[in-house]
Structure 1
């Protein structure tokens, strides 16, 4: 999938008024309620393009609105890749959304999936759970629940979340510092995924700098950071370190609540992946 600086940095802040185009070679018609592996194959191989316009919402901080076509964007990839992107866009912290305005892209992706898969007897659930017992998660669902007392067939896909793969770092940190080390590695990976340093520095120096500050403040509130980041000197690394330190405390509490060893927690770290489960029934 391609994206601009603003796409990568602000996808969780922005509501998108979207038009969806689905491209697939076979089948031309939406896949019926077939076996779960067939539907999973369609999700993994069908490509789609989602055209949308970034439309920032106002919060406690002022955000400049889009001008002309400057905020028009296109995201494309397989349906599985788009589901993964939308899932991370639905990130919540302790059950509260990181941003209040993240539904536009998700709705567009759901429509794209529904254009390729009949969902009468199909439910597709994509989940981003970056570590055991996580209170920082993302989730998106297409289709209704199966009725009780019917046989349900299941197939599973694993797709990149677009965030760093942190399991190796978590293993090393866990071997040295236990659960606290695993939490540090996980938190650093999540913050890097939300605020990629290079792209964030570029965006902070452009007219979208108010959006950068706005999004940092949303993250600070959710992660429990004292004070606010000004980014007046463009020090993205320092701002990210503050977010990661606060988030690490939350992650460590969650991991201790999971009652697992540091080595087990590290092996179950999944910051870099989204799990997509397809369920079908007669």
Structure 2
């Protein structure tokens, strides 16, 4: 794995594991139409590396480029690409990682029969989310054919916080669940120690971090700190988490479900991958 502090900070914590942990060499030929479980197995057990470029825009409008390499199973890389395409109310949080999504999609196409197959990776951190991530490879199945499906769950890189979520639901209801989800979301995006180190480092890396902060704080209506290398990270993270919590509480309230019910459906730490195949 060649990703270092930068990828740990950009959401983007490196994916730590999949449901299936056995790995094999990348197959020489693409998997045929087959059954959905066969394609799912290929995604879970085929390892590869993809190269991509982070291209954020700095505060003065200039563009910087940082070359990265990601390694893992195809399922892990799909999960990482989904989290890298976070949207808020349908609008992308950042386009800096578009290269990762394209590289992962190309790798998946090389390992499966894209025709007659669609693979989707979806990150839904809580029920009814306005904050989510999604990536898809392959065309949608025709409406008049039988479709077979298989699913797996892969780590998103964000903290799971399952026990904390349940405790918060009992103690403080929907607002408590929202606080836990928001804190985990911000911690996953901007781990304090590593963010401070990266923000105070060389310009390409610091520019990426500041770009991420600028996009997040603007999208959630939070005034950003200009001194991220000092105490600004903790302060900005706290204000960002408060704003995110308000949004999450609003989304959860709209589901009309109980705090206990929504706490059981919090999925901050996982990405769901679905494979659909048809004749």
State the 1:97 CA deviation.
0.6
1:20 aligned partner = none
Aligned 1:1-282 pairs, distance under 5 A: 3-10=3-10, 25=25, 27-58=27-58, 60-62=59-61, 65-66=64-65, 71-207=66-202, 208-225=205-222, 227-231=223-227, 234-235=230-231, 236-282=233-279
Contact 1:123–1:142 (8 Å) recurs in 2: yes
State the 1:192 CA deviation.
0.7
State the 1:64 CA deviation.
6.5
Unmatched segments (≥5 aa) in structure 1: 13-22
CA–CA distance in structure 2, aligned partners of residues 100 and 199 of structure 1: 22
State the 1:169 CA deviation.
1.1
Query: What's the CA shift string for 1:212-253, capped at 9, x where partnerless?
Result: 22321210111121x221125622222111110000000000
State the 1:24 CA deviation.
5.5
Contact 1:213–1:229 (8 Å) recurs in 2: no
State the 1:51 CA deviation.
1.7
Partner SS, residue 136 of structure 2: strand
Shift in alpha-carbon separation, 1:206–1:257, aligned structure 2, 3 A: same
Contact 1:62–1:214 (8 Å) recurs in 2: no
Contact 1:166–1:270 (8 Å) recurs in 2: no
Instruction: Flag as ranges the 4+ runs of structure 1 deviating above 3 A.
Output: 23-27, 60-64
Shift in alpha-carbon separation, 1:85–1:188, aligned structure 2, 3 A: same
2:19 aligned partner = none
CA–CA distance in structure 2, aligned partners of residues 165 and 232 of structure 1: 26
Contact 1:204–1:234 (8 Å) recurs in 2: no
Contact 1:39–1:278 (8 Å) recurs in 2: yes
Query: What's the CA shift string for 1:24-73, capped at 9, x where partnerless?
Result: 63742100111000000000000010122333335x5455634xxxx332
Contact 1:63–1:211 (8 Å) recurs in 2: no
TM-score, normalised relative to structure 1: 0.89
Contact 1:48–1:77 (8 Å) recurs in 2: yes
Contact 2:27–2:46 (8 Å) recurs in 1: no
CA–CA distance in structure 1, aligned partners of residues 105 and 78 of structure 2: 8
Contact 1:121–1:146 (8 Å) recurs in 2: yes
Would you say how many aligned residue pairs link Structure 1 and Structure 2? Answer: 266
CA–CA distance in structure 2, aligned partners of residues 244 and 2 of structure 1: 30
CA–CA distance in structure 1, aligned partners of residues 162 and 111 of structure 2: 34
CA–CA distance in structure 1, aligned partners of residues 35 and 159 of structure 2: 33
CA–CA distance in structure 2, aligned partners of residues 209 and 2 of structure 1: 18
1:19 aligned partner = none
CA–CA distance in structure 2, aligned partners of residues 139 and 192 of structure 1: 20
Partner SS, residue 83 of structure 2: helix
Partner SS, residue 234 of structure 1: helix
Contact 1:63–1:210 (8 Å) recurs in 2: no
TM-score, normalised relative to structure 2: 0.90
